[in-house]
Amino acid sequence: MTKNKLVLIDGNSIAYRAFFALPLLNNDKGVYTNAVYGFTTMLLKVLEEEKPTHMMVAFDAGKTTFRHDTYSSYKGTREKTPPELAEQLPVMRELLDAFSIPYEEIENYEADDIIGTLSRHASDAGWETTIFTGDKDLLQLVDKHTTVTLTKKGITNVEAYDPDALHERYGLRPDQIVDMKGLMGDSSDNIPGVPGIGEKTALKLLAAYDTVEGVYEHIDEISGKKMKQNLSENEEQARMSRKLAEIYRTAPVQTELAALAWEQGDPKTIKAFFEEMGFQSLLGRIPGLEEEKPEELADIDVKKAEELRPEMLTEGTALVVESLEENYHHAVMIGVALANENGTWVLDPSACTESDLFREWAENEERTKWVFDAKRAVVTLGWEDVFLSGITFDVQMASYLLDPGASSHDIAAITSRRSGMQVQVDEQVYGKGKKQAVPPEEELVQHLGRKAAAARELKPILEKELKQNEQLALLTDLEMPLSVILGRMERHGVAVDEKELHRIGESLTERLAEMEKTIYSLAGTEFNINSPKQLGEILFEKLGLPVLKKTKTGYSTSADVLEKLEPEHEIISSILTYRQLGKLNSTYIEGLLKSVHSKTGRIHTRFNQALTQTGRLSSTDPNLQNIPIRLEEGRKIRKAFIPTSSGEVILAADYSQIELRVLAHMAQDTSLIEAFNQGMDIHTKTAADVFGVSPEDVDSNMRRTAKAVNFGIVYGISDYGLSQSLGITRKEAAAFIETYLKNYPGVQDYMESSKAFARENGYVTTMMNRRRYLPEITSKNFNQRSFAERTAMNTPIQGTAADIIKQAMVDMSRALDESGLSGTMLLQVHDELIFETPEKEAEKLSRLVAETMEKTVSLDVPLKVDVSYGSTWYDAK
DNA sequence: GCAGTCACGC
DNA sequence: GACGTACGTGACTGCA
């Protein structure tokens, strides 16, 4: 027989810990979940590590217990349970029900007493018991069979006490814990103890006299007049305190130990509970669920085909091109799946790439295909020199447009949201990290077939929804043509001058070494400057600089804090420079060098087209949308970005103030429209209006302020955000915003109507009907509501600007084709497009780009594009 | 492997 | 009046 292992959990104590350790999370239904979440993570950890045979969770019952008869102020200082926690306590019981874990509360007794009683029974029976709590009082229950595990920091960071560990930590036997409490008291339970005696003194007294009784027997031997007096005067109180701290080990617990037997809850019930609570991240940890999952999936009719046949390639065939690598520029295809009205098939990659039939079908624009993630398919096949064309539907893009806020747009998630089919999550099939691997063929065929079949099934469903939202054109005329264009840009890549990167890197490394020496000597010691923790200790403890801001883990050492400390110590400016140079070296020099593709010697970023909430693109591996420009030091990195061939130049075209122009147009603000029509400098104009002076009298400081205000309008920052960026108070920032809105009543009205639209419809839209859903706009939580309101004001502006530049890229791609020019689009950086072109054609291309971008859409203000070119990206300024 | 902190762009 | 406050990506530390 295996040995019995009992786990007892102090429910209220753990719930409190979890509640205060975690931010106030709530799920999509607006219900607070942080305590339940924390409790659940602890529970899962306990199940995984302790593997109990018996379990029970004890809760406190009601407000008063028998201890109040002894001492009416017991727990008198305890604050009322916060309502955000109180509402979670019943949910905790639902959780335990889902796991089939018994729980109990007994009128007049505390959870401690239930635990004390059961652990005594278990210990008598020779069972091994572990008690989980955040309350040190329970240490009195430790014995040779019983371990008490205390939460230390957070919720899953714990420390286990057996008799030895307890002795090592406190020098006490378990039964002396109550004597300690008797002497030192416990402020959280409002147990008084003896005044003037804290943990240290209590431990010293107990080391000498063993118990409270012992202390009073030897009261005459105690040195220290004041302490002796305190002890004598509070003898009664000490005895009472000791009694209060004593856990009652014969509480009327009805449950027999045997009834606490536990194997595992029903995985499906637990899964349903997790899904209801929004605990997506915990789904993978449900005991017993993993083995069941594959059985749920009935096999679908997929055939492994050795070669391609015409019946597989009809109109509207769903195509899946599978590879494991997230970065498809390094992808190795592991399979191709096709699904249409004739069936579903999976083929080896070579059966496709080496087949003329496949190539003709894939490259023929007239032969329509449906895919999941068009750009991935285009680029993956592109690396095999297959030029995929004729994609008319992208399931992933459709999902993104319908539901940009969804936490994931992988095919498993989309399928479970919108169809009855089931597709496994890639991570479950392939594993992740080091354990990632191709599964046995049968499993792979099923998975890929299922993906293709799902894409085929989802297409009409998503298409119908897009039509209802009037978003179909956004998909078919904008995003999908753009996918192909972006795919070409990515596959083409950007040439870099590696020698130049190395040169800059060497100089940076040298300067970093010097800075390091300077910093060590100014600090008087060597330490890791890159560690905010160590740096904080040096600045704020060793050098005694004033602490202006703290983070949740310690001192803040961010640039804005350090800038304020600059006059205090000369080490600060060195640290700021060190950080700056370090960033350039590690992210931009070393990072970019690592990204040079071994096959092409170029850099191939990936633009994520289905990610941001506003409709902007993002760029990864490497991110080419945040190459330094502001400080000259960093800007030099751009010297390493060069055209493919000699005789070519880099050409950059950027929209000037596109967001503010969009704002002027959308808000129909006469003053702003006029300013743009007259070609005024918009920050000067804003400064003149906000400060009430004429444009000629605007000084640089006023313009700087106005620029920050405009920045705030464009990015939807709060008065707090504005105050931070200008280094002024929140009140002053709020006053600027108010003056701004008074001067531009059109903007004021627009902001109000945008919020009203969001409240009424639950979403906001851009010019091209991109949506962003804002359920929090009606939240009772001030923060959430304010955030949603700022988003409602800002997203239509930023999103419309994103729409416009995307449209410009589509237009530009066509214009390039039609012009006969040989320039190529390389990158997009939110409001600018980067090209490479033969120098001979640079002037022509400049005019074409400016014209095309400026007339992409027609607003009530002109769109202005600045174009420049040079031998490197740096010189295109 | 993960969270936290910091820094770069728009 | 408090709440914690534009969106992205990536490097690094320090903990599990």
CA A573 to C1' C11 (Å) is 21
More confident residue, A695 or A227: A695
Name the closest residue (CA) to the C1' of nucleotide C1: A782
Mean pLDDT of the A574-603 span: 95
**Nucleotide with C1' nearest the A534 CA:** C13
Tens of pLDDT, residue by residue over A312-330, are 999 999 999 999 999 999 9
CA A116 to C1' C10 (Å) is 51
**CA-closest candidate to residue A54, choices A133, A119, A134:** A119
CA A294 to C1' C7 (Å) is 38
Q: What is the pLDDT of residue A639?
A: 97
pLDDT at A292 over 60: no
**Nucleotide with C1' nearest the A551 CA:** B5
Confidence at A26, pLDDT banded by 50, 70, 90: low
Tens of pLDDT, residue by residue over A660-714, are 999 999 999 999 999 999 999 999 999 999 999 999 999 999 999 999 999 999 8
pLDDT at A240 over 90: no
CA A566 to C1' C11 (Å) is 25
pLDDT at A154 over 70: no
**CA-closest candidate to residue A484, choices A390, A403, A404:** A390
CA A4 to C1' C7 (Å) is 53
pLDDT at A294 over 50: no
Tens of pLDDT, residue by residue over A797-818, are 999 999 999 999 999 999 999 9
List of domains in chain A: 1-171+250-280 (3.40.50.1010), 172-247 (1.10.150.20), 302-493 (3.30.420.10), 497-603+620-636 (1.20.1060.10), 652-657+801-876 (3.30.70.370), 659-798 (1.10.150.20)
Q: What is the pLDDT of residue A77?
A: 64
Q: What is the pLDDT of residue A49?
A: 80
CA A489 to C1' C6 (Å) is 28
Q: What is the pLDDT of residue A167?
A: 84
- Which of A218-232, A325-339, A396-410, A587-601 shows the lowest per-residue confidence on average (mean pLDDT)? A218-232
Confidence at A586, pLDDT banded by 50, 70, 90: very high
Q: What is the pLDDT of residue A166?
A: 84
**CA angle, A787 as apex, A786 and A792 as ends, to 5°?**
95
CA A26 to C1' B2 (Å) is 22
Q: pLDDT > 70: what percent of chain A?
A: 96
Residues facing strand C, Cβ within 7 A: A 24, 157, 528, 530-531, 533-534, 582, 586-587, 590-591, 594, 608, 611-614, 618-623, 626, 715-718, 720-721, 730, 782-783, 786-787, 790-791
Mean pLDDT of the A75-95 span: 78
Name the closest residue (CA) to the C1' of nucleotide C6: A715
Mean pLDDT of the A265-286 span: 79
Helix (H, G, I), strand (E, B) or coil at A12: helix
**Nucleotide with C1' nearest the A549 CA:** B5
More confident residue, A83 or A673: A673
pLDDT, averaged across chain A:
90
**CA-closest candidate to residue A863, choices A872, A871, A853:** A853
Q: What is the pLDDT of residue A29?
A: 60
Residues in chain A: 877
Name the closest residue (CA) to the C1' of nucleotide C16: A157
CA A227 to C1' C15 (Å) is 43
Confidence at A295, pLDDT banded by 50, 70, 90: very low
pTM to 2 decimal places: 0.72
Tokens representing residue A354 in the block: 């080496």
pLDDT at A79 over 70: no
Mean pLDDT of the A247-262 span: 87
User: Any idea of the CA torsion for A101, A105, A111, A113, to the nearest 10 degrees?
Assistant: -110
Q: What is the pLDDT of residue A664?
A: 97
- Which of chain C's bases lie under 7 Å from a protein CB? 2-16
A595's enclosing H/E stretch is helix A591-595
Q: pLDDT > 90: what percent of chain A?
A: 64
Name the closest residue (CA) to the C1' of nucleotide C5: A718
**Nucleotide with C1' nearest the A801 CA:** B10
Q: Transcribe A483-533 into DSSP letters.
A: HHHHHHHHHH-EEE-HHHHHHHHHHHHHHHHHHHHHHHHHHTS---TT-HH
CA A496 to C1' C12 (Å) is 25
pLDDT at A763 over 50: yes
The dihedrals phi and psi of A650, each to the nearest 5 degrees, come to -95, 135
Confidence at A156, pLDDT banded by 50, 70, 90: low
**Nucleotide with C1' nearest the A618 CA:** C8
pLDDT at A23 over 90: no
Which of A81-95, A371-385, A771-785 holds the top average pLDDT?
A371-385
CA A279 to C1' C11 (Å) is 29
pLDDT at A28 over 70: no
- Which of chain B's bases lie under 7 Å from a protein CB? 1, 4-10
Mean pLDDT of the A48-70 span: 83
- CB burial class (10 A; 0-12, 13-18, 19+) of residue A435? exposed
